[in-house]
Homo-oligomer: A and B are copies of this chain.
Amino acid sequence: MVGQALAARLVELGHDVMVGTRDVARALARKEPDNRGNPGFGAWHAAHPTVQVGTLPQAGAHGEILVNAASGGASLEVLRQAGAERLAGKVLIDVANPLDFSKGMPPTLSVCNTDSLAEQIQRAFPALKVVKALNTTNAAVMANPAAVGDGNHTLFVCGNDGDAKARVTELVRSFGWRDVVDLGDIAAARGAEMLLPIWLRLFGVLGTPLFNFKVVR
C-alpha cells in the first residue's frame, strides 16, 4: 500500500518511477484484492501503467532516490537482494516500521528503544544515505497530506547526511508537507518508529487512519 501510494503520487508529479519486486510476472498476475481489500498489484498497475515494474536489482539500479516500502521484517533482505553495490551513494527513504505480528494484535516492535530499523539498515549498508521519513502516517496521508486537516500537521525526518535530508525534504514538500521537522541523526528513528504503538491505538479509537500528529509550538 505504501509503495503503491508513493509510486502513484511520484508519477503524478512527473517522476520516473520503478517498483521493485521479487517476481515481476507473479506480481503483475495478482488481480484479486488482498485480505484487507486492497487491489492486487496487477490490478493496481493496470490503473497506473506509467509506473515501471522491475526486479529488486533493477529497481535498486533505477532510482536516484530509493524508497524502502517493504515490511519491517523483510527490509534488510529486500535491500540485500537489490544489491549493496547498486545502492551505494544513493538516498534511501526508509518508510518501514519494524512491526512484529508474531505475538498477535496489536503488533509490537521487533526493535526499539536502544536501536531502530533505520539504524540497522544504515549499519548494514554504510554507503546508503538513510533518511527515516513518512513512517508515522498512513499511506494515503503520506502521499497527500492535505487529505487530513488541510495539511496542517508535521512530518519528521532524520538521518546522518544533511544533503540527503534536504533532498527528501524537498521531495515531501512537493507532496504538500509544509511542517517538516529534522530530528537529527539516524538514531532519532527510534523515536519516530516508537510512535507506532500510539498511532495504532489512535487508529482504533478514531476509527480511521486519516489523522496525523502536529507538533504545536
Contacts and interface: CB of A to CB of B under 8 A. Distances in A.
A205 B156 CA distance: 12
Contact of A198 (B182, B192, B212, B214): B192
A148 B216 CA distance: 7
Interface stretch (A34-42, A106-114, A160-168): A106-114
**Chain A interface, DSSP helix/strand/loop, else mixed:** mixed
A149 interface: yes
B205 A184 contact: yes
Interface residues of A, number: 40
Given A198-B156, A202-B181, A217 B149 contact: yes
Interface in A190-207: 190-192, 194-195, 197-202, 204-206
Report the 6 A-B pairs with minimum CB-CB distance, sorted nearest first: A191-B198, A191-B197, A211-B217, A149-B216, A194-B194, A153-B216
